[in-house]
Amino acid sequence: MMQPCGDALVERTGEQSELDLLRAENARLVEANHEAFNYIRCKVDSLLGVIGTRGLDPGELDDHSLIEFDPIGIVALTFQHILENLQETNQKLQFAHDEIQTVFETVGAGIMVLDPQGKLISYNQKIRDLMLGDGIDIHGKMCRDHVCGKNSDDSRCAFASVMENRREQRFTDWNFNDRSFDVIGRPMFDEVGKITHVILAYHDVTARRDARSALLAALEETKETNAKINGILRSAADGILVTDAGGDVVLINRRAEELLELPLVEPDSTPRIERIRHAGLVNLLRQAPQRGQETFSEDLNFHLEGHSPCLCQARITVIRSAQDAFNGCITLLHDVTEQRAIDRMKDEFVSTAAHELRTPLATIIGYADLLQMDNNFSPEQRAEYLQQIQNKAERLGEIVSDLLDISRIESGEGVKLNRKPNQLEKLCAEVVKNFRLQAPGHSFELDFPPSSVATVNVDRYAMLQILENLLNNAVKYSPAGGKIRISGQLENGCCLLAISDQGIGMTSEQAVRVYDKFYRADATNTAISGTGLGMTIVKHLVEAHSGQVEVTSSPGNGTTVTITLPLATGQSGTGEPS
């Protein structure tokens, strides 16, 4: 009976040992699992920290739930997404880099990137083209040695200015190798405000500079041209008026101002043709668009207050566009008062000259016919007829001589003078001697006191012509028996020669015009014969001798012509040799 009890004890002892072993193994497994879960939690928390996510909370997620939640799988998947995003971002960055590099290389400006010491980190193709040339590499080299050092004005260094002022700097008209640049320098800063790079952009403005210079030259030329045009307009003797298609006055010079009594165009107002105080011209301008002529003219009379009436030829030229549309008119107002008067005088001269030439010619022909038809005339009669022929021939010669002198004067040839010292009193006496024979009905008086004896350098022929013209006028316009006085005196180194008559005289208006070609105070058919050229020739010859001529006269009181001539060298103004 005792044996079974012993066996049972042994059996219970063996079971207890097996249970202890199992418990120990279980404790070891629990500890191993605990360490494993802690390791997993630690690594997962590290991964979550990397991706910026809060770590695992043991109170919220126990070990059993940790296995079910699979944070490692989640983190792995997250990292997979992150890596995919990084790959996509890198591709975008590479594309952006390529874009920036393309812009950097193809931009129109030359660009350089420098470090704070002034070394070149990078530069684009435009810098090579503008400043370096092919085959030259200056990466890592000092900018000053290759750019500013070659510039004559290196005091305007953009890099140095940026580093000194720590802000963007601009320079205009910076010159390099005969080219002109606008330079912009800009600093790049790090997070603590330290300059890490300086970017310089060079804009080539050479073409703009040249264009500006050409424009300035063109503007200057335009100003000079405008000044010349304005000078021409101001000095033009003719009135100039320009109107547009709307009837506005766009240009007017001072002469047209005076004639039309229209002020110059002001900047803030544009006069219209209706303000022109001449109805005839206004009508012509209004009719211009309907006229078939491109240019037409008409004489217009102008009566200006305080001025003598004048006659102007209005010459109007129509301005048309390429499409034949009316664009306005250019009006030229040419004063033809004197020209028309000269035309009238020429007409009168032709009539007078025909009469003057016809009379002596008729006499010459008549007496010549008598002498040819009849030989029974007495010697006295033949001598008388021949004398008449000679006198009329001389008269013809005088008329022709006057015409030739005027022709030379008008052509600019003048009269060639052969000056020699001559005593004026002797020349006067010689001319008076001939006139006493030709005009016995007049009294001639010479008044040359000893103190007035004068020697002048004159052309003898020209001086005789002057005296003959003046005495001839005095004889023609003085009544029979009238006295003609020729006197001389010295004054201020000059000789004053005065020829006075007791003739019909002239008004002050007639005296002013006495030097005009073909002018005669009385041009009627009953007037005293003459061509109206004598005083014109006298004035020209006197002025050719550096002298002056003056006429004083009044109606019914005769006329005095005074000639002033400089004395010959060595002659004093007192009548005695110096």
> In this predicted model, what pLDDT tens digit does every residue of 356-386 receive, in sequence order?
666 677 778 877 887 787 777 788 888 887 8
Give the DSSP H or E segment for 566: strand 559-566
Contacts of 535 (CB under 8 A, 6+ apart): 469, 473, 514, 515, 551
152: pLDDT strictly greater than 80: no
Residue 221 covered by a domain: no
Torsion of CA 152, 153, 159, 165, to 10 degrees: 160
For 178-201, b where at least 16 C-beta lie within 10 A, e where not — what string? eebbbbbbebeeeeeeeeeebbbb
- C-alpha 387, offset from chain centre: 71
Using one digit for the tens of pLDDT, what is the confidence trace for 378-411? 888 888 878 878 877 876 776 676 666 666 665 5
* Residue at 18: amino acid letter: E
3-state secondary structure 349-409: HHHHHHHHHHHHHHHHHHHHHHHHHCCCCCHHHHHHHHHHHHHHHHHHHHHHHHHHHHHHH
Residue 562's pLDDT band (cuts 50, 70, 90): very high
d(CA 45, CA 53): 8
Residue 219 covered by a domain: no
Give the DSSP H or E segment for 15: helix 2-50
Shared domain for 367 and 498, answered yes or no, is no
CA distances from 402 to 130, 195, 198, 518, 542 (A): 82, 100, 95, 11, 15
Which DSSP string corresponds to 260-313?
HT-PPPBTTB--BGGG-S-HHHHHHHHHGGG-S-SEEEEEEEE--TTS--EEEE
d(CA 193, CA 12): 84
Give the DSSP H or E segment for 328: strand 326-335
> Please, what sign has the CA dihedral across residues 93, 99, 103, 104?
positive
* Residue at 240: amino acid letter: I
430: pLDDT strictly greater than 60: yes
Least confident of 53-67, 169-183, 414-428: 53-67
β-bridge pairing 443-447 and 483-491? parallel
Last residue of a domain, one of 409, 440, 456: 409
d(CA 529, CA 476): 8
Least confident of 60-69, 305-314, 508-517: 60-69
Q: Coil, strand or helix: which one is 97?
A: helix
Question: Which domain, by its residues, includes 179?
Answer: 107-204
Q: Tokens 């298609």 identify what position?
A: 245
d(CA 320, CA 290): 12
Summarize the confidence of residues 42-53 as an average pLDDT. 70
pLDDT of residue 282: 87
Shared domain for 258 and 316, answered yes or no, is yes
Shared domain for 560 and 419, answered yes or no, is yes
Residue 50 covered by a domain: yes
Residue 371 backbone dihedrals phi, psi, to 5 degrees: -65, -35
Residue 10 covered by a domain: yes
Q: Coil, strand or helix: which one is 228?
A: helix
Residue 448 backbone dihedrals phi, psi, to 5 degrees: -125, 90
Using one digit for the tens of pLDDT, what is the confidence trace for 95-151? 776 666 666 666 667 888 888 888 888 888 777 777 776 667 778 788 777 776 555
Residue 98 covered by a domain: no
d(CA 546, CA 456): 11
412: pLDDT strictly greater than 60: no
Shared domain for 132 and 185, answered yes or no, is yes
Q: What is the CATH number of the domain that holds 403?
A: 1.10.287.130
Task: Please measure the distance between the N-terminal and C-terminal CA atoms of the chain and give it in whole angstroms.
Answer: 203
Q: What is the CATH number of the domain that holds 111?
A: 3.30.450.20
Shared domain for 331 and 345, answered yes or no, is no
Nearest partner of 329 among 259, 257, 241, 266, judged by Cα: 241
Instruction: Work out the angle at residue 155's Cα, subtended by the Cα atoms of residues 149 and 161, and round it to the nearest 5 degrees.
Output: 105
Using one digit for the tens of pLDDT, what is the confidence trace for 233-279? 777 778 888 888 888 888 888 888 888 877 654 545 567 888 888 88
Shared domain for 550 and 448, answered yes or no, is yes
Shared domain for 556 and 470, answered yes or no, is yes
Using one digit for the tens of pLDDT, what is the confidence trace for 153-197? 556 788 888 888 888 888 887 887 778 888 888 898 988 889 988
Last residue of a domain, one of 409, 438, 469: 409
Contacts of 408 (CB under 8 A, 6+ apart): 414, 415
Tokens of 395: 């008269």
Shared domain for 393 and 311, answered yes or no, is no
Torsion of CA 202, 207, 208, 209, to 10 degrees: 90
Contact in structure between 463 and 422 (CB atoms under 8 Å): yes
Contact in structure between 457 and 421 (CB atoms under 8 Å): yes
* Residue at 426: amino acid letter: K
pLDDT of residue 64: 63
d(CA 134, CA 112): 17
Summarize the confidence of residues 323-335 as an average pLDDT. 88
Shared domain for 176 and 271, answered yes or no, is no
Indicate the number of domains in the chain. Answer: 5
> Please, what sign has the CA dihedral across residues 157, 160, 165, 166?
positive
Shared domain for 431 and 558, answered yes or no, is yes
Residue 231 covered by a domain: no
* Burial class (CB within 10 angstroms; exposed 0-12, middle 13-18, buried 19+) of 567: buried
pLDDT of residue 248: 87
Shared domain for 445 and 559, answered yes or no, is yes
Contact in structure between 442 and 481 (CB atoms under 8 Å): yes
d(CA 467, CA 241): 49
Shared domain for 394 and 419, answered yes or no, is no
Q: What is the CATH number of the domain that holds 509?
A: 3.30.565.10
Residue 116 covered by a domain: yes
Which residues, listed in sequence order, are joined to residue 445 by a DSSP beta bridge?
A: 485
Last residue of a domain, one of 386, 409, 432: 409
Tokens of 455: 């020697």
Residue 230 covered by a domain: no
Summarize the confidence of residues 510-518 as an average pLDDT. 76
Q: Reading across the β-sheet that carries 110-114, which strands appear in turn?
A: 120-123, 110-114, 195-204, 179-189, 169-176
